[in-house]
Amino acid sequence: MSGPAGLPPTQEQDHPGATVFLKAGTRFAPEDMMTYAEKGKKPFSEVAHKIDLILSGPHASAAFPREIAPFLADELGQRLQYDFSDITTDPLARLWAQSDPRVVYIANPVSRLIFDQNRPHPDDVAGMLRGFFDRLRRKTAGEDVGFSGVDTVRGVTFGNVPVLREPADDAAYEALVAVLNEAAGRTSLAYAAARDAVIEQVIEAKTRHLHEIDLSTVSHRDLQSATTLYVQSVHDTMNATATPDGAVATQRAKPDRLPWLVELGNRGNRQGDARVPATPGFLPASDPLTIPGAELRGIAGALCTAFGVEDAEFDAAISINAPYIGAWEVQHMARLVRSMLPQASAMRADGNHLKLRAGVYQSEYLRETLLGPSAVQALQTPGTDWPMADMDGLRAFAEKLAASQDILRCRVTSAL
């Protein structure tokens, strides 16, 4: 069984347009999930101190583990499977990381079906699944219910096309949970462990490097890079949803649509500042901003410069915390970063005190922009295939993203 050209060697497909699977038993080491410019030439430990941008891809893959096949609903097909994921930002993030020696990308190698890494992990997997299918029956019956809180294993697409069959009895639930746990241990949970380890390794390496910087010769750009770390959770979304025949042509409601470039999220308001609590008092301790509003606005400004967006065009190109404020992964990574920052500083022998600045945010790129017009046109008609993105356009887009990060390195801020 072999898939079409472009399918990674770890994946297979029974026939063109069919569901794509990870080959049975496939495991991923941390290095398998990482992309950085000097990979294959230097171990990551030798370049970690240079990194000033970590890209994470919790929905980078659409592939299901082969072991889940007996539990799937009727043939989903490649198009609906890929539309269920954020597959287009995977080559984008790889191109970006390959082109910039200060960027590293960590990609989840399995579909969001196997414990979505942008959702909290459930304590009771079977209980969560039962809750999901209960809500699905109610929704099918016409009740207005959503799946928030029970969609870490989401059994339908966002167009409500079935992905998993509802288990018939307790034994079937136990069997499904066993497959999910086993597959996750070598895929999505391995990704989560690698992602956290990379964040920790980079912060520790950058902190050690603060003692080694020669302040008499270091350039402003290099000092800014050495004392700054951004972590971006990378996603893409279409402004249309798919129908069961594969046509991705049903326009989302206007409040749910993305601008043509990107939406940035830090759990804040439309300006990137803290939201007003729903009830009087403090925001929950678990939900502060993942990056200060001024920092997020600076990132948006750098993107405008790199992509040539004029002030009057800003709202059409970039939004902040609308429609998405950032989900579980950015909250988790921000907590990890905040726990390390108090120690990420250096009181140097020359009397200077250098400290690391860091922040986490979510990005949602418009998939139509990334794919290009020809692929979008193909997706608007029924089918099971997934058209290739315009790689020249994607490469040019990645170059502009890299340019925006370079603009941030040239800002006038002080680490002293």
Model confidence pLDDT, tens digit, residues 397-416: 999 999 999 999 998 564 44
pLDDT for the residue 4:
45
Judge whether 360 and 290 are in contact, CB under 8 Å. Answer: yes
Rg of the chain on CA atoms, in Å: 22
Quick: pLDDT tens for 218-255.
999 999 999 999 999 999 999 999 999 999 999 999 99
Domains in the chain with CATH codes: 11-111+188-409 (3.40.630)
Quick: pLDDT tens for 161-190.
999 999 999 999 999 999 999 999 999 999
Measure Cα distances from 397 to 19, 176, 366 in Å. 29, 40, 12
Euclidean distance between CA atoms 26 and 363, whole angstroms: 29
Measure Cα distances from 135 to 71, 130, 180 in Å. 19, 9, 20
The answer for residues whose C-beta is within 8 angstroms of residue 299's C-beta and 6 or more apart is 230, 264, 361, 404, 408
Count other Cβ atoms within 10 Å, centred on residue 251.
11
Count other Cβ atoms within 10 Å, centred on residue 24.
11
Residue identified by tokens 């996603």 is 235
Which residues does residue 282 pair with via DSSP β-bridges, in sequence order? none
User: Looking at per-residue confidence, does 277 or 349 come out higher?
Assistant: 349
Q: Which of the residue ranges 83-97, 272-286, 395-409 would you say has the lowest mean pLDDT?
A: 272-286
Judge whether 194 and 106 are in contact, CB under 8 Å. Answer: yes
pLDDT for the residue 3:
38
Query: In terms of Cα–Cα distance, which of 261, 320, 263 is closest to 292?
Result: 320
Beta-sheet pairing, 240-242 with 248-251 = antiparallel
Tell me the pLDDT band of 280, cut-offs 50, 70 and 90.
confident
Phi, psi of 294 (to 5 degrees): -65, -35
Query: In terms of Cα–Cα distance, which of 149, 80, 92, 158 is closest to 121?
Result: 149
Q: Any idea how long the chain is?
A: 416
Query: In terms of Cα–Cα distance, which of 383, 378, 388, 385 is closest to 17?
Result: 385
The answer for residues whose C-beta is within 8 angstroms of residue 231's C-beta and 6 or more apart is 53, 54, 56, 199, 333, 334, 337, 358, 359, 360, 361
Euclidean distance between CA atoms 75 and 245, whole angstroms: 12
Assign 3-state DSSP to the chain and report helix, strand, coil percentages, each to 5: 40, 15, 45
pLDDT for the residue 25:
97
Which residues does residue 363 pair with via DSSP β-bridges, in sequence order? 234, 264
pTM for the model stands at 0.96
User: Looking at per-residue confidence, does 40 or 276 come out higher?
Assistant: 40
Euclidean distance between CA atoms 183 and 161, whole angstroms: 23
Euclidean distance between CA atoms 154 and 163, whole angstroms: 8
Residue type, 31: E
Q: Is residue 289 scored above 50 in pLDDT?
A: yes
DSSP state of 120: P
Q: Which helix (H) or strand (E) holds 228?
A: strand 228-237
- Measured at the alpha carbon of residue 86, what is the angle toward residues 238 and 270, in degrees to the nearest 5? 60
Residue type, 15: H
**What is the chain's mean pLDDT, rounded?**
94
